[in-house]
Structure 1
C-alpha cells in the first residue's frame, strides 16, 4: 500500500511540473517575434466584428406594427443583456434602436432614466440623434420596395 505522504509528494511534483510546463510555453509564446503583431491583428479583428454587428441592425417596416413591436422587444432585451454583461456601447446601441422605433419614446426615456445609471443614460441620449436617420433611411427603403 502507498502511504498518504507518497501520494501527497507525487501530487506536488506533478503540480509543479504542470506549472513549469505552463510557464515555459507562455514564455516561449511571448518571445515569438510575431506575438505582438498577431495580438494586435486579433484585437483589431474583434473590434471590427463588434462594430459590424452594431451597424448591421436592420430596422423593420414601420408600417408593420407587429414587426416593429417584435423588433422593439428584441432590442430592449438585447440592450439589457449587453449592459448586464458589461458591453455598455453595444447595450446603448440596442436601447437607442428601441427608443427610435418606440411609439412613445418620451415615456420609454423616462423609464430608462430611472433604471439606468446616469452616465449610461446620458450616453444613450447622445446616441439617439445618430440612430434616427438610420430608421428613416430604412423606412424609405421599405417604401421603395413596395413601389
Structure 2
C-alpha cells in the first residue's frame, strides 16, 4: 500500500466520519430546538447592544438606508437632548459609512466638543460589534 492510497483512504474515512456525525446531529430531536434557542439568544444580545437591525454589508442599498436612518435618528435624539442614544446611532452610521473620515470631519464641525468626544470614544467598539454581528450572521447559515 503506497502513501497515496493511505492518504486517500484516510481522507475518505474523515469525510465519512463528518457525514455520520452531521446526520446524527441533525437527527437529534433537540437539534432544532437548540438552534432556535441559540438564534434567539443572539438576537436578544444584538438588541441589547443596539445593533438589532444591522444590514447585510454586501447589500449597498440596505447599507445606505441603514446609514441614512441612523444619521436621522441620531440627529433627532441629539436635538431632544438625548446625547447618549444620539451618539449611539451616529456611531452606527459611521461604522457602515464608506468614507468615515469625511463624516467625522463634518460631525466635528457640527457637534459640541463633549458630544463629539463621546462619539470618538465609541466608534472603535461599535465598529467591531457590527463586524462581529455580520460574521455571526454569515456563520449561522445552517
Q: What TM-score do the two structures reach when normalised by structure 1?
A: 0.60
**Cα separation, partners in 2 of 1:142 and 1:135, compared to 1, 3 Å:** same
Q: 2-side partners of 1:56 and 1:135: how far apart?
A: 10
Say yes or no: does 1:71 pair with 2:90. no
Larger Rg: 1
Computed over aligned residues only, the root mean square deviation of the Cα atoms, in angstroms, reads 1.8
Correspondent of 1:136 among 131, 134, 141 = 131
Render the CA deviation track for 1:94-140: whole Å, top value 9, x for unaligned. 00000000000000000000111111101100011210121111111
Is the 1:96–1:124 contact (alpha carbons within 8 Å) kept by the matching residues of 2? yes
Stretches of structure 2 that go unaligned for 5 or more consecutive residues are: 1-45
Q: 2-side partners of 1:69 and 1:142: how far apart?
A: 19
Residue 56 of structure 1: aligned partner: 50
User: How many pairs does the alignment contain?
Assistant: 96
Q: 2-side partners of 1:146 and 1:104: how far apart?
A: 30
Is the 2:51–2:130 contact (alpha carbons within 8 Å) kept by the matching residues of 1? no
Higher mean C-alpha displacement, 128-137 vs 117-126:
128-137
Residue 109 of structure 1: aligned partner: 104
Q: What TM-score do the two structures reach when normalised by structure 2?
A: 0.62
Stretches of structure 1 that go unaligned for 5 or more consecutive residues are: 1-51
Say yes or no: does 1:120 pair with 2:112. no
**How far did residue 145 of structure 1 move?**
4.1
Secondary structure, counterpart of 2:55 in structure 1: coil
